[in-house]
């Protein structure tokens, strides 16, 4: 009798789970459809009316690039200074953001924070920093400071600080506290406990996440160029704004940016594997 009741309860629970799952799917689909209809109604054109034109710009870009393929190397060479500026923006922003993120992560980790009462504050600061998109911060700073790389550096650094603060705090929570407790027992200060007991354990993960963030920031710095923050994105926007006749220049910048991102991804990927798994024999 007890077995029959258990089986009945189990089947009833399974039916309820299926019902709830089906309701969630229906609600999700309804929200997607209604959201799409609202967005399409507010759009300047119409999604379905303009769908057949989606491939027009890529086709024009590729055709003009093929026709003027001899000009592509020269355009790429002329875009190198802007690419260097983009890389500098990403490197400086990543460095500043990682330093700030490390401080936030240590302040937000229970058991390691110097002021435990400020742990919730540090976590909320980290949440706010990564919740605001870089482009929004950059637009505000461009309005205040004017166009250029400085607003891009500050915007990316703030977002990086929030993201790294979250990631690194999770790394900190997994450290072995025995070395920290041992250092505390012999009278080590908080900074000595962190430097000698925590950093040796987390350094590979810190560097790995930092390199991963550098990849993200290179793409972000290129995107911010579209709003006047300098770098290769600014050159790409100008080439695309002029339209037909300048598409070969836009194609050259696309190729240069693509090759740079691929190279950086490969180098940082190899470095992360070496840091986390060690050198292979």
Q: Is 50 part of any domain?
A: no
Q: What is the pLDDT of residues 14-46, one digit of tens each?
A: 888 888 888 999 998 988 888 877 777 776 666
Q: Is 191 part of any domain?
A: yes
Under a CB-based contact definition with an 8 Å cutoff, are residues 164 and 98 in contact? yes
Residues 130, 240 within the same domain: yes
Ranges 127-136, 138-147, 264-273: which has the least confidence: 264-273
Q: Is 66 part of any domain?
A: yes
Quick one: pLDDT at residue 155? Answer: 92
Residues 249, 118 within the same domain: yes
Quick one: pLDDT at residue 247? Answer: 79
pLDDT band at 278 (very low <50, low <70, confident <90, very high): low
Residues 115, 252 within the same domain: yes
Quick one: pLDDT at residue 277? Answer: 67
Residues 175, 233 within the same domain: yes
Quick one: pLDDT at residue 281? Answer: 40
The CATH number of the domain holding residue 241 is: 1.10.3720.10
Q: What is the mean pLDDT of residues 209-234?
A: 84
Residues 37, 67 within the same domain: no
Q: Is 49 part of any domain?
A: no
Q: What is the mean pLDDT of residues 250-275?
A: 82
Q: What is the mean pLDDT of residues 117-139?
A: 90
DSSP 178-203: HHHHHHHHTT--HHHHIIIIIHHHHH
Domain containing 22: what range? 1-43
pLDDT band at 1 (very low <50, low <70, confident <90, very high): low
Q: What is the pLDDT of residues 222-251, one digit of tens each?
A: 888 887 777 888 888 887 776 666 778 888
- Burial class from Cβ neighbours inside 10 Å (0-12, 13-18, 19+) for residue 53 reads exposed
Whether 47 has a pLDDT exceeding 70, the answer reads no
Domain count, the chain: 2
Residues 36, 141 within the same domain: no
Residues 138, 253 within the same domain: yes
Q: Is 103 part of any domain?
A: yes
pTM of the model: 0.77
Residues 66, 36 within the same domain: no
Who wins on pLDDT, 7 or 30? 30
DSSP the chain: -HHHHHHHHHHHHHHHHHHHHHHHHHHHHHHHHHHHHHHHHHSSS-HHHHGGGTTHHHHHHHHHHHHTGGGHHHHHHHTHHHHHHHHHHHHHHHHHHHHHHHHHHHHTSTTT-SSGGGHHHHHHHHHHHHHS-HHHHHHHHHHHH-SSHHHHHHHHHHHHHHHHHHHHHHHHTTS-SHHHHHHHHTT--HHHHIIIIIHHHHHHHHHHHHHHHHHHHHHHHHHHGGGT--SHHHHHHHHHHH-TTSHHHHHHHHHHHHHHHHHHHHHHHHHHHHHHH----
Ranges 72-81, 133-142, 235-244: which has the least confidence: 235-244
Q: What are phi and psi of 109, to 5 degrees?
A: -100, 120
Q: Is 54 part of any domain?
A: no
Q: What is the mean pLDDT of residues 110-131?
A: 89
Quick one: pLDDT at residue 44? Answer: 61
Residues 139, 22 within the same domain: no
Residues 127, 236 within the same domain: yes
Residues 67, 36 within the same domain: no
224 Cβ neighbours under 8 A, 6+ residues apart: 89, 134, 135, 138, 151, 152, 155, 156, 231, 233
Residues 230, 91 within the same domain: yes
Supply the angle between the helices 134-145 and 149-172 in degrees, to the nearest 10. 140
Q: Is 51 part of any domain?
A: no
Q: Is 18 part of any domain?
A: yes
């Amino acid at each position: 009798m007890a077995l029959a009741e258990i089986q009945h309860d189990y089947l009833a629970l399974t039916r309820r789970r299926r019902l709830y799952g089906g309701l969630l799917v229906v609600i999700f689909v309804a929200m997607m459809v209604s959201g799409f209809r609202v967005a399409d109604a507010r759009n300047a054109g119409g999604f379905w009316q303009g769908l057949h034109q989606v491939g027009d710009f890529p086709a024009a870009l590729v055709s003009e690039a093929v026709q003027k393929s001899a000009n592509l190397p020269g355009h790429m060479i002329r875009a190198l200074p802007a690419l260097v500026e983009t890389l500098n923006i990403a490197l400086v922003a990543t460095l500043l953001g990682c330093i700030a993120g490390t401080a936030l992560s240590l302040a937000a980790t229970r058991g390691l924070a110097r002021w435990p009462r400020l742990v919730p504050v540090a976590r909320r600061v980290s949440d706010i920093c990564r919740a605001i998109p870089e482009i929004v911060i950059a637009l505000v700073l461009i309005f205040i400071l004017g166009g250029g790389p400085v607003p891009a550096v500050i915007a990316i650094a703030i977002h990086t600080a929030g993201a790294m603060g979250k990631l690194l705090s999770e790394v900190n929570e997994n450290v072995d506290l025995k070395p920290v407790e041992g250092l505390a027992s012999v009278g080590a200060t908080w900074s000595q406990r962190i430097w000698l007991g925590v950093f040796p354990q987390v350094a590979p993960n810190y560097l790995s996440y930092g390199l991963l963030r550098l990849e993200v920031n290179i793409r972000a710095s290129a995107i911010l160029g579209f709003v006047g923050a300098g770098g290769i994105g600014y050159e790409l926007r100008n080439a695309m704004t002029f339209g037909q006749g300048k598409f070969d220049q836009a194609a050259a910048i696309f190729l240069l940016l693509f090759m740079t991102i691929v190279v950086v991804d490969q180098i940082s990927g190899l470095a992360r594997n070496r840091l986390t798994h060690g050198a292979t024999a």
